[in-house]
Amino acid sequence: MALIEVDKISKTYTLGDVEVNALRGVSLTIGKGEFVSIMGASGSGKSTFMNILGCLDKPTGGRYLLDGVDISGLDRDELAEIRNGKIGFVFQGFNLLPRTQAIENVELPMFYKGVPAAKRTERARAALSMVGLEDRAKHYPNQLSGGQQQRVAIARALVNEAPIILADEPTGNLDTKTSVEIMDLFRHLNAENGITIILVTHEPDIAEWSRRTIRFMDGQLMSDEERTERHG
């Protein structure tokens, strides 16, 4: 079953008198429960593509169906609602609030959905447990290692039970050992919880954790390969 359907999408930015074609007619499908990595050099279009998948931006042309819904016709509020319900985001820089405890950082997405306080706490604790950090709930970001901070960020992405996690260079600020731990966690969430994982990376060894690697160049899809064996 297709969770993401992209049909001939293009994205053009106007910078003064210059038009930049960030995406040029990209078409692909991602099914429920896939683990996909997206690769490409700087300026290849992969970040623009991720922003469109994450409903942070809309294509200039073509269609993007997310779980059967055409996002191109939605307004800003409708896009925000889809983002908050269907997509969890994980970033290279963790994006945690520094003066806020881990559990409160994890609770944040639920504020926007109006989840009652007791339910927020219960679900945040469950999400921290899923990433192995239930004993660090009251710690502040500066009391956590880089890997632990990224786990908090992953728990925050999980807390609204979104079916998709979009991860943008999630190991970019981590050492090799910690990167392996984080990728192993993503693989576990994919295999055991059926969460669709889509990650941007420029590191081939990180891409090897996924079952499918999509490569961009000059705004176009250059290759789309599946592998039977995964790293780790």
Please report, for the chain, how many H helices and E strands are present, in that order.
7, 10
**How many folded domains does the chain comprise?**
1
Highest mean pLDDT among 39-43, 141-145, 171-175: 141-145
Contacts of 148 (CB under 8 A, 6+ apart): 133, 136, 139
- pLDDT at 35 (0 to 100): 97
Does the pLDDT of residue 232 top 70, yes or no? Answer: no
Domain CATH for 209:
3.40.50.300
Asked if 95 contacts 171 with a C-beta cutoff of 8 angstroms, the reply is no
CA–CA dist 149, 102 (Å, integer): 8
On whether residue 67 sits in a domain, the answer given is no
- For residue 227, name the pLDDT band (cuts at 50, 70, 90): confident
Tell me the C-alpha to C-alpha distance, in Å, between residue 223 and each of 23, 136, 217, 220, 226: 15, 41, 9, 9, 10
On whether residue 185 sits in a domain, the answer given is yes
- In the sheet that 87-91 helps form, which strands lie side by side, from edge to edge? 87-91, 164-168, 196-200, 35-39, 212-217, 220-226
**Domain enclosing residue 172, as ranges:** 35-58+80-226
Asked if 27 contacts 17 with a C-beta cutoff of 8 angstroms, the reply is no
- For residue 85, name the pLDDT band (cuts at 50, 70, 90): confident
Give per-residue pLDDT as tens, 52-72. 999 998 899 999 999 999 988
Q: Read off the pTM.
A: 0.90
- pLDDT at 160 (0 to 100): 87
CA–CA dist 35, 33 (Å, integer): 7
Residues facing residue 87 across a β-bridge:
164
Residues facing residue 18 across a β-bridge:
15
- pLDDT at 113 (0 to 100): 79
- For residue 81, name the pLDDT band (cuts at 50, 70, 90): confident
- Average pLDDT of the residues of the chain: 92
- For residue 94, name the pLDDT band (cuts at 50, 70, 90): confident
- pLDDT at 184 (0 to 100): 95
Does the pLDDT of residue 230 top 70, yes or no? Answer: no
On whether residue 210 sits in a domain, the answer given is yes
On whether residue 205 sits in a domain, the answer given is yes
117 is written with which tokens? 């306080």
| Closest C-alpha among 189, 187, 154 to residue 168 | 154
On whether residue 1 sits in a domain, the answer given is no
187 is written with which tokens? 């693989």
- pLDDT at 231 (0 to 100): 59
On whether residue 20 sits in a domain, the answer given is no
Residues facing residue 213 across a β-bridge:
37, 225
How many other β-carbons are positioned within 10 Å of the β-carbon of residue 4?
19
Q: What percent of the chain has pLDDT over 90?
A: 77
The alpha carbons of the chain give a radius of gyration, in whole angstroms, of 18
On whether residue 91 sits in a domain, the answer given is yes
- pLDDT at 111 (0 to 100): 82
If residue 20 lies in a helix (H) or strand (E), which one and from where to where?
strand 18-31
Q: What percent of the chain has pLDDT over 70?
A: 98
CA–CA dist 49, 52 (Å, integer): 5
Does the pLDDT of residue 79 top 60, yes or no? Answer: yes
On whether residue 16 sits in a domain, the answer given is no
- pLDDT at 196 (0 to 100): 97
Q: What is the mean pLDDT of residues 39-57?
A: 92
Asked if 139 contacts 63 with a C-beta cutoff of 8 angstroms, the reply is no
89 is written with which tokens? 């985001």
- For residue 193, name the pLDDT band (cuts at 50, 70, 90): very high
CA–CA dist 210, 94 (Å, integer): 21
Q: What is the mean pLDDT of residues 194-213?
A: 94
CA–CA dist 170, 168 (Å, integer): 5
